[in-house]
Structure 1
Amino acid sequence: MADPPFNELLKRFRELQGLTQQQLAARVRASPASVSRWANGHGIPHKPTAELLDEHLNAGGRLMSAWRMVANGTTLPEWARGLADIEIVARFLEFLSPVLVPGYLQSPSYARQVFRAGQPLLPEKDIANLVKLRCERLEQLHSLSVSAVFPVLGIRAFGRGIQQEQAAHLLSWIATGRVTVLLVPEGSVLAGITSPLLVFTLQDGTMAASSDHVSGNFIHDDESHPRLTALVKGALSSALPVRESRRILEGLSNE
């Protein structure tokens, strides 16, 4: 659920701290009249003052997130406009993939076949480099936990050797406690998910979402977040429970 607007959050956190508008103004070196204007929704402070307000009110980043929404039309900070930037400050990812195993969780042989199919003109050395980058990425994002939803067919459609390697690779990630896999059974589809969808929860509680497309990655604006959250809930309801998904992976790794 989205936070209230900046002015409402400002009033809420000020009251939680037991401060008057005059006391808060003194702490952030602003005039009481300015604090009153911000609280009434008649403008917002400059960024340095907003950061001080967040700090002195112990808002944990929520006030800054609301400030960015008013100032920029998005809750993401200015520097977090690309996927790599979002990954670094994310603590949880819900990854929905309509067909394939999510890239973060692909094994080397699986990733190689995916890249070869999608980049048929690339030299083998470039494919090898892409595989290395993909398969090492989640290890580099050591603070990120992942919940992945994708079809069983995403593994079964590949040859036996790749299938076994991929299933074993997923089981090894599950064993770390950082990864949860929920498989969509054969005969079911992730209706509404037309491309891989990544929904991140950042360290300050802010939500960020992106989709993978043939020509690159697309960052969704805040207005689409309620619809994307509903898609996540729908995908989770279509998937098998964690224990059953793991049992299927164990079977695939031994076929």
Structure 2
Amino acid sequence: MPIRKEPSHFLEPVIALAKEAGRRIMEIYESDFRVGVKEDNSPLTAADLASHHCLVEGLEALHPAYPVLSEESKALPFAARSAWETYWLIDPLDGTKEFVKRNGEFTVNVALIHRHLPVLGVVYAPAKDLCYFASEGCGAFRQAGGAEPGSLHVWTQAPHRLRVVGSRSHGGEALDLYLSRVGEHELVSIGSSLKLCWVAEGSADLYPRIGLTSEWDTAAAHCVVNEAGGQVTDLAGRPLLYNAKESLLNPYFLVFGDKSRDWSGYAAGIEG
């Protein structure tokens, strides 16, 4: 059966793998760790690398085996990866700034991409022992600790006073302009891909990202949002695609549950 119809057989091992990566992250989180700097001046810790190695080794051992693209091994040229029809896209530690601040708002992100779209996603927040997961055609779920997973559904009718989720580390005039256009709202800040997951579970109505992100930041939670009934689009209303261009940067994007409202219309004149 084509993988787009049945990626769910990977869910159990990938969830276990994400939790093992999370365990290794927490060992370092609870220690007196050091913070390095990457070439782009973003922070890097031993936890990023420990999670990276755990995930890559585990995913490469699965059958069938697919290539793995990780934030910590992203130097692969487009000429090589453009031939991939199916591959794993991972962010070993999404929210390193939140990790360094020790606020618990960081995640392990694992996505399976098939023909430029996410067909499986696992987002695990180890400090909260909270896991979001989904696979195409099978729905989206949230599991806290050892409890039974519960199904997720977006809020399909946005209220008059919108619940908007944003980033603790990013913002700016363009975001302020967009929010001034959507009308009355309450803005709540949280780190990492948990923002997309909040929309998926119905805790937020809208996540406008008017700023730079990379494909590994969004792919896993993108699948969760899709399977919960929501959408992730660029500012023109087109779905985000993965591994479809030289750059691994996403365009600015919107995450929402209420599809009856033209969220992209508020972005007129905002470049992204």
Computing the radius of gyration from Cα coordinates, the structure with the larger value is 1
* Higher RCO (CA 8 Å, separation ≥ 6 residues): 1
- Quick check: TM above 0.5? no
**Bin of the TM-score, shorter chain as denominator length:** under 0.3
From the two aligned structures, give the one with the greater strand fraction.
2
